[in-house]
Structure 1
Amino acid sequence: MSLHTDAAHSSGQMLPFRESLLATLGICFVIMLVALDQTIVGTALPTIVAELKGFDLYAWVATSYLLTSVITVPIFGRLGDYFGRKPFVIASIIIFVAASALCGIADSMLFLVLARGLQGIGGGMLVGTAFASIADLFPDARVRLRWQVILSASFGIATAVGPSLGGFLTQSLGWRWVFYCNLPVGVISLFFVWRFVPHIRHMKHAGKMRLDWPGAVLITLSLGSLQLLVEMLPKRGFTMGMLGLLAFAVAAFYSLWKWEQRAAQPILPFEMMRDRALSSLFILSVLAGFSMFSMLMYAPLLFQGGFGMAPREAGLLITPLVACITVASIVNGRIITRIPNPNMMMTLGFALVSLSCLGIVLSGRGTSNGFMLATMLAGGFGLGLVLPNLTVFAQQAASREHLGIATALLQSLRMIGGMLGTAITGTLVSQMYGSGVQKALESDHAAQWLKEFQDPEVLVNHDIQSTLLSQMMQAGHNGSALLDAARDALVGAIHMGIAIAILTALAGLMLVRRVPPIKFQSNAKVEPVMSE
């Protein structure tokens, strides 16, 4: 059955309030499913590796998920534009939950890595379709911003409780429940989406369209090779193999660009890049992802490994960074439609992120917790002003037929920016920390201990430290002084990586000026087809 809901358009939403609330809750559960998984698994990984005996595949538990999700986000974002998003959201929940069950029953690291890859396909489908579903439900940007407060809150709650919940489940029930906990959330989200989210299609003849399979293959090759490059480069350096992979990635991206210009219905419409607002927002998404993931990934290592904080103390400092993203998103949604220049909110956001990164670089072992807490608060509040506005601005600037792919591209580009940020900082940590430790050990004629110091985990794990210090003392070395030298090397390396994040945030601050002023006016009435 097909119907048009013209009356609903006048109020800026497709459905009455009750139906809108239930549909939004369904999308919230879907977003919580992905957000929870992003933060809960990391806590359990050391225990998983200890049981399954596969440390050489440690990084691939995260890499396999990222690899498949980065590829599927733009593909299914575009397919959602063609055929409507509800079928893909339902399919993605089923795939994600089934893959979570497979992760839970894994009996080897290889099995877990493969299951995580399948889970990434479901996660990419979710991200590529769920975020754009809100724009379908609420065509008017003013109305959409009010409802997105619920989404921001659900994402923030899931992200904040993930690490603690992962630790609790691992200690109390075993690491497998880190994956099994996705099952009840998935069943609830599946019920709400199936029952309450309407099937909205913006292209009435989408069923007759031919899928751009060559474009999908080229997206897979280009994004996949880029993902592998940024993951493997910090470990292997600029070898011939890495240079070959770089050349392949460049060739794949060039082939994708040339093909999509000729395709009748391109899965990645490059004409969007000609739009000044969208092209600027896409670049801003990369820059925001670079700064955000640099802080999220390496601030905890700085606090624990570099400054010698206990995990709980470091966690208390990191929590405001995550929590303030949600708080600022809520505040942003309340005021952005009431100010004459909404672009100023993103300008303020990038300024706060720059100051936060600068605060991290200026922090040392003697810096007060109050200063570092303020630094984390500034970073979280800044990201909370940048991230939701990137999505809302892009949805406001994009045409209806490009809504899904524009939203999906923002998510993919933010992940790519995050990959670049963590890869560059990871390379600096590997090189600078390694050379600094080697120099300190050689000056104390203790080069035989280099293997024990090579992994910064020795600066975090107090059990390993105690054993190492005892052994070095028996050998006549000042182990405490060498640990302090190793901490100094780690701090310098992370500071250098975060300094690059300062430059990316400042580049974002300058680039915001290129975004044409966004006006949140009531959208012209549109008539998508709703199918039940």
Structure 2
Amino acid sequence: MPQTREAPLYSTLSPTDVRSVIIGLMLAILLGALDQTIVSVSLPMMAADLQGVDLLAWVVSGYLIAVAVATPIYGKLGDLYGRRVMLSSAIIIFLLTSIASAMAPSMPFLVGARILQGLGGGGLISVAQAIIADVVAPRDRGRYQGYISAAFAVASVTGPVAGGLLTTYLSWRWVFWINLPLGLVALLSSRRALALLPVPNVKRPIDFLGAVLLIVGLATLLIGITRVGQGAAWLDPLNSKLFGVTLAALLAFYWQERRAEEPIVPLRMFSNRTVNVSCAILFIAFIEVVSLSVLIPLRLQMLTKAGADGSALQLVPLSLAIPSGAYIGGRLMTHLGRYKHLQMFGALLVPVAVLGLAFLPPDAALPTMVCMAITGLGIGLQLPTSTVAVQNAVEHRYVGIATAVSAFCRSLGAAMGIAVLMALLLAALQADAPASAAGFSGAEIIKVLIGDAQVHVDAMIKAQLAGSAVEAFRKIFSVAAGIGFVAFVLSTLVRDEALGERTPVERPRPAH
């Protein structure tokens, strides 16, 4: 059933007020996004210091899973109790767990601290993005979403560099200590700026059971997917149990949300086609982002003499083009007052460019970088247009949870995309292997071609494996291009709605 939409009230924040709020939000988002990248370079030193190589992957995965799980919860609580208090609480949780991470005496303690830190990080990002819808008119939101994308870009570029410098010259613990001054500035700046926002003055019931079921369902799903990405079989005994719990919890969550007075995720929101399609487009966009970020360097290191530094260099066009595309898309959306055709154009660029990657030789550095830049531009165009489309399609009182659901779809796409495509790559490497290497698994073939000292094969066999690996990567990039084309087909289904030019503020409603 379509939603009925109230006539909204409107905000009267001045441009100076809006600018103050946006600066506070960018600091908060930079804090949360930076911690997704700054840790990566420090992982070997953490493992050596804390004697826990077997848990190393969970230092990153635990954080990302917690971010994804926390996102919809924070979105709904922001709708109920106001964004200012929820953003402040997220920053405080983030800072306290940063201290715990910096002082970790063992690897299990560090993983636990990182999971709790992810709960704060999820709030930082989801609440901050929802606040934009509180202070900016729909027509202008794209421009400001572009600024937010720039904060993510700064984090992705500076995070590994900062992490490397801190680890080399101080200690890996400083990648967490550095959060304290940054977080305090973000906390003070955002609280001062967000004092301008209205606070809901009605009390509504909290759907605690729905929140617990959602957390259990999402956590088990993401843990299972993450294990697949780390080499486990999709339906090994532990994953079978995890996915069984996921199914049971999400079915129970659906039942609970249908009967709850104030559901955590209002299901009627999904009766809106624009919400469904735009969330699916964001899901696919992040399948492409994360998959290419892993597959391009892997192909280079397996099939050329490029090391980790050289292969990382080919990701620079993607990293720079995504925020550039988001900024351009946001500005054009503000100018045109519509989003559909920008969304469609971005969704078309991606499969075309990724298909180009499939048929380029691994050592064709310049054409590869051009295709990566076009892919990043296409993804960037989809980010603000899809986020604004979701916000524009729901009642203002659901903006927080709608924004959070779209952010969760991005996280889920990132997790599922790399798990699925890496599993397909391992299968393709094994299937395409020459008869002389028929007993090799996909993982062993990767080790051989990267030059793992523990795996010794004849030079001729290695050359044959390289030839078969070229074909395997061609198949995987073709699959990725096909997935990208699905986003283009979906974008044609989005309604071409005009964006309003005034900023809505939720109309007070009586308590139940």
Structure-to-structure mapping, 1:343-422, within 5 angstroms: 343-366=340-363, 368-422=364-418
Query: Which segments of 5 or more consecutive residues in structure 1 lack a partner in the other structure?
Result: 1-8
Quote the residue 2:3 is aligned against.
none
Quote the residue 1:4 is aligned against.
none
- After TM superposition, the structure 1 stretch with the greater mean CA deviation from structure 2, 329-338 or 218-227, is 329-338
Quote the residue 1:30 is aligned against.
28
2:371 and 2:433 map into 1 onto residues whose CA distance is 28
Structure-to-structure mapping, 1:16-415, within 5 angstroms: 16-138=14-136, 140-198=137-195, 200-201=197-198, 203-205=200-202, 207=203, 209-234=204-229, 235-237=231-233, 238-339=235-336, 342-366=339-363, 368-415=364-411
Contact kept in structure 2, 1:357 and 1:499, CA below 8 Å: yes
Quote the residue 1:6 is aligned against.
none
Number of corresponding residues:
498
What code does the residue aligned with 1:220 have?
I
- After TM superposition, the structure 1 stretch with the greater mean CA deviation from structure 2, 90-99 or 113-122, is 90-99
2:503 and 2:154 map into 1 onto residues whose CA distance is 34
Shift of 1:300: 2.0
Contact kept in structure 2, 1:280 and 1:512, CA below 8 Å: yes
What is the SS of the residue equivalent to 1:264? coil
Shift of 1:42: 1.6
**TM-aligned CA distance change 1:243 to 1:381, over 3 Å:** same
Contact kept in structure 2, 1:65 and 1:117, CA below 8 Å: yes
Q: Aligned pair 1:518/2:508, yes or no? A: no
Shift of 1:272: 0.5
What is the SS of the residue equivalent to 1:122? helix
For 2:444, which of 454, 473, 483 is the aligned residue? Answer: 454
Shift of 1:154: 2.0
**TM-aligned CA distance change 1:369 to 1:104, over 3 Å:** same
Contact kept in structure 2, 1:336 and 1:342, CA below 8 Å: yes
Query: Which segments of 5 or more consecutive residues in structure 2 lack a partner in the other structure?
Result: 1-8
Contact kept in structure 2, 1:78 and 1:404, CA below 8 Å: yes
2:442 and 2:285 map into 1 onto residues whose CA distance is 36
Quote the residue 1:5 is aligned against.
none
What code does the residue aligned with 1:500 have?
V
What is the SS of the residue equivalent to 1:249? helix
What code does the residue aligned with 2:391 have?
Q
What code does the residue aligned with 1:426 have?
M
For each residue in 1:162-213, what CA deviation from the matched residue of structure 2 results, as whole angstroms up to 9, or x when unmatched? 22222222222232222222222111101101222236357441x2x11100
Identity %: 30
2:54 and 2:23 map into 1 onto residues whose CA distance is 40
**TM-aligned CA distance change 1:250 to 1:499, over 3 Å:** farther
Q: Aligned pair 1:505/2:484, yes or no? A: yes
**TM-aligned CA distance change 1:248 to 1:261, over 3 Å:** same
1:266 and 1:527 map into 2 onto residues whose CA distance is 18
**TM-aligned CA distance change 1:337 to 1:156, over 3 Å:** same
2:46 and 2:465 map into 1 onto residues whose CA distance is 28
1:159 and 1:499 map into 2 onto residues whose CA distance is 26
**TM-aligned CA distance change 1:110 to 1:493, over 3 Å:** farther
**TM-aligned CA distance change 1:70 to 1:452, over 3 Å:** closer
1:51 and 1:458 map into 2 onto residues whose CA distance is 29
For each residue in 1:449-479, what CA deviation from the matched residue of structure 2 results, as whole angstroms up to 9, or x when unmatched? x79973846655xxx65x558xx5xxxx63x
What code does the residue aligned with 1:190 have?
L
2:218 and 2:365 map into 1 onto residues whose CA distance is 40
TM-score after normalising by structure 1: 0.86
What code does the residue aligned with 2:228 have?
L
What is the SS of the residue equivalent to 2:197? strand
1:107 and 1:459 map into 2 onto residues whose CA distance is 37
**TM-aligned CA distance change 1:200 to 1:370, over 3 Å:** same
TM-score after normalising by structure 2: 0.90
1:452 and 1:229 map into 2 onto residues whose CA distance is 20
Shift of 1:81: 0.4
**TM-aligned CA distance change 1:455 to 1:78, over 3 Å:** farther
- After TM superposition, the structure 1 stretch with the greater mean CA deviation from structure 2, 164-173 or 182-191, is 164-173
**TM-aligned CA distance change 1:204 to 1:159, over 3 Å:** same
Shift of 1:526: 4.0
2:443 and 2:138 map into 1 onto residues whose CA distance is 53
What is the SS of the residue equivalent to 1:265? coil
In angstroms, what is the RMSD of aligned CA positions?
A: 2.6
What code does the residue aligned with 1:184 have?
P
Quote the residue 2:4 is aligned against.
none
Contact kept in structure 2, 1:82 and 1:201, CA below 8 Å: no
2:373 and 2:443 map into 1 onto residues whose CA distance is 33
2:107 and 2:465 map into 1 onto residues whose CA distance is 31
1:302 and 1:166 map into 2 onto residues whose CA distance is 25
1:379 and 1:302 map into 2 onto residues whose CA distance is 17
What code does the residue aligned with 2:444 have?
Q
2:129 and 2:494 map into 1 onto residues whose CA distance is 22
Shift of 1:17: 2.9
What code does the residue aligned with 1:285 have?
L
Shift of 1:25: 1.0
For each residue in 1:260-281, what CA deviation from the matched residue of structure 2 results, as whole angstroms up to 9, or x when unmatched? 0110000110000101211211
What is the SS of the residue equivalent to 1:200? coil
2:435 and 2:98 map into 1 onto residues whose CA distance is 45
1:493 and 1:52 map into 2 onto residues whose CA distance is 38
1:314 and 1:19 map into 2 onto residues whose CA distance is 43
- After TM superposition, the structure 1 stretch with the greater mean CA deviation from structure 2, 100-109 or 401-410, is 100-109
For each residue in 1:52-74, what CA deviation from the matched residue of structure 2 results, as whole angstroms up to 9, or x when unmatched? 22221122112211222211110
What is the SS of the residue equivalent to 2:172? coil
